Amino acid sequence: MTKTTIYRPICLFIFCLTGSFCAWCQPIVRKDTVKLPVSDTLKAKTLKDVTVTGKPPVVEHKQGKAIVNVEASVTNTGTTVLEVLEKSPGVTVDRNGGISLNGRPGVLVMIDDKPTYLSGEDLNNLLSSMSSSQVSQIELIANPTAKYDAAGNAGIINIKTKKNKNRGFNGVATSTYGQGVYPKNVNSLTLNYRSGKFNTFLNYNMNASKYLTDLYAYRKYYDDNKNVTAILEQPAYFTGTVFNNTLKTGLDYSVTPRTTVGLALTGVSIRRKGNNTATASWEKQDGSVDSAILTKSTPDNKFKNGGVNLNARHTLSKNSELSADFDYLHYNMEGKQNFDNQLQAPGGYSEVYRSDIPTTIRIWSGKVDASFKPLPDASLQAGVKASSSHTDNAATYENWVNQQWTIDYGRSNRFLYQENIRAGYASWEQKFNKLSFQAGVRYEHTSYTAHQEGNIQQKDSSVVRNYGSFFPSGYVAYKLDSINSLTLTVSRRIDRPPFQNLNPFLYIINKYTYQTGNPYLLPQYSWSFELSHQFKDLLTTSVSYSDISNYFSQIFLSDTSKTILFYTQGNVGHVYNLGVTATLSLAPVNWWTMDFTAVFNHKQLRGFNGNTFTSEISQLNMNLNNQFMLGKGYTGEISGNYTTRARNDVQELLYPTGQLSAGISKSVLNKKGTVKLTYRDILYTVAMEGLTSFPDATEYFKLKRDSRVLSLSFTYRFGKSYKTTRHQDGATEEKERVQNG
């Protein structure tokens, strides 16, 4: 037994207290660079053009953001982007597709630094159909700077797709087969060619899967004395197929060593076809069934998105740069569904109706940014942005009456929405010895017109709003010594109500549950403060506080019979959130690295929703990832996450949930290929479960998906890439930066 083996546990303990190592022990903290002993003979020689590369950590922490390296986690194989988010540190997703970051709801989701302009079910469908094999990194930005859009009270989640810029021709092909209850197949291809002034790229992804959703709801109705008057039990089983094609291609051209222009084209086509069955059983207080209705439905949803981006970057001088981005996006979504409600009783009836809900969204966006370094340790950034979105959402419901389809004008409508946002920002960043700071402010003005067209049963209506506000943000960082630093971050942000939540028409969930919009919904605002401490790359801790005003919350209403419940949203008051976060990165031995993140939040909700209320909860989200270097090209992983009881809405309490996953990968074909075998949600514990309190009822719900999946994937890298040797030219680095655009 060596001295290193004897003293390693002692050194580990001493290091955690002092940050120092003894002479016998190897460093236990993961390093980006490794120093190797050099013999006296080799000391006199100079090594040139040596680059040491290693596997990136699963999660990195940089100024103001956490970065999830998707491919660094073996268990991300065969997953969707939504599934990667669900197990990312501090991220939670509720049953309605709402995403929270560090315990705070309201996140702006971006793809390649550009807003998706989607929310709720539409965003959920996009992310759940998008393969993680398309993605290189996911940035979790809790307090963005003024350069970013002010939307997103909880911050920004930026999904960065793969784009290889190595010189020469190269590519990566991946194929994954997964088996849960139903099969799943994902295939992707990434191509890149860069030579001289040209760089071209193409990313293609195809996802063909079968899905299931098992939903159970148990609703109790009460009288004024809180006695149970009726029980509604609603088990439902949804199955279907998803077929997704995604293509992104583009060209970058260096017009001059200082000027680069680019063109990017994106296309997404998603088709989801389902076959759903649900039973609604009315029960007496003793549990005996009074009546039951069987509902069969066949949804057919299509999602198409096309986008064009023109971009340019020009280096005015060594210290100044100008960039421009112009985008056009077109979304075409179509949802068709046939319903058949059958009363399960002798002489029962059958209600047959169908819906057709097409939506078209057109978005124009343009921005210009400038950066300037007036001092060696100072920089100034400024820019302007304008965007305009036009939404046309029609809903046609038809009933099958007397052997023919008849329009239901009470539920049919057409909703037109136009929104314009104008923005400008400026920020200053500077460093003084151990102190650095950034201060910025962004102004955004919003105007929108929401118009619901009338029909023979309903009057038309319109809502017009104009509002503007300043959104300051910034940080102050102080380096205490070579291994400790403190950072204070402050920001103000906004969440605008999505057009779907403004549309007052009825969307049918089932015979006894509808969803409707609120045209009078106002934006919600937040102030956020965070103080963080970082000890090397080993430990990061932070304390945060946020105050959300005009808080969006689900509101549940009932009809005069008190049997049908309506889901809607309203501004109910304030949410106060006190958070504590700790992230630990260790390498206990040279073949084992570990990342652990814990996010604790204490929330207090105050406001008015039919009556004055105060609600509070303490919740904890934990994420653990273990990576093992097993030798001979093998890499293993065991990871898991767990969330305690949580609350995102005034009336909905979420129960604990979590998952355990494992995987192993092996390099083959001279490291050009990789084989991965993963098993996700081994214990089948991923569930969205909770209790909702209505005005005169309560509802327990539990939603489970086909999340326990065994996947096998093969990745092959081909082609030839090379990098240019750097010469002793002071402008070389700047030229490379311009060319890398």
pLDDT tens-digit map of 487-502: 999 999 999 988 878 8
In a domain, 4, yes or no: no
**Distances in whole angstroms, Cα of residue 205 to Cα of each of 86, 114, 174, 186:** 21, 20, 9, 7
**pLDDT above 90 for 334:** yes
In a domain, 32, yes or no: no
**Distances in whole angstroms, Cα of residue 646 to Cα of each of 82, 105, 226, 547:** 19, 12, 25, 18
Kind and range of the H or E element at 472? Answer: strand 461-479
Q: What is the DSSP letter of 151?
A: B
Nearest CA to 720 out of 148, 171, 333 is that of 171
In a domain, 343, yes or no: yes
Q: What is the mean pLDDT of residues 725-733?
A: 37
Residue 383 token pair: 């820019």
Q: What is the DSSP letter of 97?
A: S
CA 601, 602, 607, 612 torsion-angle sign: positive
Cα separation, 407 vs 146, whole angstroms? 49
In a domain, 30, yes or no: no
Which one-letter amino acid corresponds to residue 153?
N
In a domain, 212, yes or no: yes
Nearest CA to 334 out of 305, 363, 311, 366 is that of 305
In a domain, 21, yes or no: no
H-state helical runs in 97-231: 120-129
Cα separation, 615 vs 649, whole angstroms? 10
Cα separation, 573 vs 555, whole angstroms? 13
Which one-letter amino acid corresponds to residue 370?
A
Residue 490 token pair: 């402050």
Cβ(398)–Cβ(406) below 8 Å: yes
* Pair type for strands 300-317 and 413-432: unpaired
Which one-letter amino acid corresponds to residue 367?
K
Cα separation, 610 vs 100, whole angstroms? 26
Lowest mean pLDDT among 367-371, 511-515, 737-741: 737-741
In a domain, 15, yes or no: no
In a domain, 392, yes or no: yes
Range of the domain at 180: 59-740
Per-residue pLDDT of 572-599, as tens digits, reads: 889 999 999 999 999 999 999 999 999 9
Place of tokens 């209505």: 694
Cα separation, 131 vs 77, whole angstroms? 9
Residue 432 token pair: 């003084």
**pLDDT above 60 for 76:** yes
Would you give the end-to-end CA distance of the chain in angstroms? 54
pLDDT of residue 560: 64
CATH number, residue 497:
2.40.170.20
Cα–Cα–Cα angle for 698, 700, 703, rounded to 5 degrees: 145
Q: What is the mean pLDDT of residues 108-137?
A: 85
Cα–Cα–Cα angle for 640, 646, 647, rounded to 5 degrees: 145
Confidence label for 737 from pLDDT (cuts 50, 70 and 90)? very low
Residue 213 token pair: 């959703």
Confidence label for 63 from pLDDT (cuts 50, 70 and 90)? confident
pLDDT of residue 22: 45
pLDDT of residue 611: 65
Residue 354 token pair: 């169908």
pLDDT of residue 720: 73
In whole numbers, what is the pLDDT of the chain averaged over residues?
85
Cβ(485)–Cβ(61) below 8 Å: no
How many domains is the chain partitioned into structurally?
Answer: 1
